[in-house]
Amino acid sequence: MGIPQDMVQWQNGRWFRRSAATAHFFTGPRPQLEWLVRQRVLADPRVELVEGVETVGLAGDSSRVRGVRLRERGAGADKETRTLAADLVVDASGRSTKAADWLAAIGAEAPHERTLDTGLAYATRVYRTPPGGQDPDTDALGYYVVPNPGQVYGGVVLPLGDGRHLVTLSGLRGDEPPTEEGAFEEYAKRLPHPVISDWLARAEPESPVYGFRRTANVRRRYDRPGRRPAGFLATGDALCAFNPIYGQGMAVAALGAVALRRALADPGRTPTTRVVQRALLDASRQAWDISAGADKKMPGATGTRRARVRWTARSAGTWAGCSSGRRAIRPWGRRSARRSA
């Protein structure tokens, strides 16, 4: 889907101009994306997959990590572990990483953790648009009502292909989108523009409503001084997890992989763990500035506030190129009409 061309977006009482796409994003189902990535990784003969196990700790000591301890998945904590030896261990276990405990268990220091939590909560449901159910006045593929500090309800409709769409509604905890049948659609009426609730009225639900509440931005500063072992790195969400509303985490995980490849590219020169960790953090810096910069303005946000995010917060709140007026001429209309608006 091309952005902004294929998406109608509303924020702060204005429509974004649907000019030619400057970026494209994949909106298909997540399992499909995961499957494609998995096929690609496993096609590399240097990669060997160990299945049916989970990492439960690190091998080594506070000066150097020498591998991971594995246990059969689902086996009790009293069951035997085995060690998989490694020169380098990269924690890519996501937002719920246990690395802080694993490091403490070998006598090393956990990273300093910075969080910024807006208390945002999500609910998501899959819908099917009946034939002819698409808004007749638009050729848009997706719809987005963007929350902001003065208006905390958000909603997005994204195409999954095959006539199916993913609809996500968001609000702050305590007033979060409900997961009960019917109540979800009712909640959509709180959005400051009816474009999404009108769309829902034409669509048929295909799944239950799923809620999600762990949306804090979390950054772990492994690059900061501390008693940390060589041979251990963190990347992806295990290093820096973002409020998912900004849709950045997967791209940043990929940027981290590229940064890691670059840092280790010269076989004649092995960089220190800290240098590589800094390169991984740098790969996530811009996304952090966007996410934390915008979120720190949300009412009730808690956590760190750092000078570095200030300018980004301002730019994230400035929507150049918006068309004006909530009731301007059927503003989510066809792209050609909008060009002349």
Q: Which x/- pattern over 171-210 shows residues binding ligand FAD (rule: CB under 6 A)?
A: ----------------------------------------
Question: Which residue's CB is nearer to ligand FAD, number 6 or number 237?
Answer: 237
Question: Which residue's CB is nearer to ligand FAD, number 54 or number 135?
Answer: 54
Question: Which residue's CB is nearer to ligand FAD, number 49 or number 320?
Answer: 49
The torsion region of residue 97 among left (phi > 0), alpha (psi -120 to 50) and beta comes to beta
Q: Which x/- pattern over 212-251 shows residues binding ligand FAD (rule: CB under 6 A)?
A: x-----------------------xxx-----x--xxxxx
Q: Which of residues 117-136 bind ligand FAD (CB under 6 A)?
A: 122
- What does the alpha-carbon distance between residue 282 and residue 220 come to, in Å, rounded to a whole number? 12
Q: Which x/- pattern over 46-85 shows residues binding ligand FAD (rule: CB under 6 A)?
A: --------xx------------------------------
- What does the alpha-carbon distance between residue 282 and residue 259 come to, in Å, rounded to a whole number? 9
Residues touching ligand FAD: how many (CB under 6 A)?
Answer: 18
Rg (C-alpha) for the chain, rounded Å, is 23
Interface residue with ligand FAD, options 92, 257, 337, 341 (CB under 6 A): 92
Task: Please give the sequence-ordered ranges of beta strands (E in DSSP) within the chain, or none if there are none.
Answer: 2-3, 7-11, 14-16, 23-24, 53-60, 65-72, 82-85, 89-91, 112-117, 120-128, 142-145, 154-161, 164-172, 204-205, 210-212, 217-221, 232-234, 240-241, 302-303, 322-323
Question: Which residue's CB is nearer to ligand FAD, number 28 or number 149?
Answer: 28
CB of 340 to ligand FAD, least distance (A): 32
Question: Is there binding between residue 253 and ligand FAD (CB under 6 A)?
Answer: yes
Is the Cβ–Cβ distance between 12 and 148 less than 8 Å? yes
CB of 328 to ligand FAD, least distance (A): 29
Is the Cβ–Cβ distance between 93 and 70 less than 8 Å? no
Interface residue with ligand FAD, options 94, 150, 299, 325 (CB under 6 A): 94
Q: 45, 43, 5, 48: which is closest to 23 by C-alpha? A: 5
Question: Which residue's CB is nearer to ligand FAD, number 289 or number 333?
Answer: 289
Nearest residue relative to ligand FAD (C-beta) = 249
Q: What angle do CA 3, 92, 246 make, to 5 degrees?
A: 25
CB of 68 to ligand FAD, least distance (A): 8
Judged by the rule CB under 6 A, the positions of this chain that interact with ligand FAD are 54-55, 92-95, 122, 212, 236-238, 244, 247-251, 253
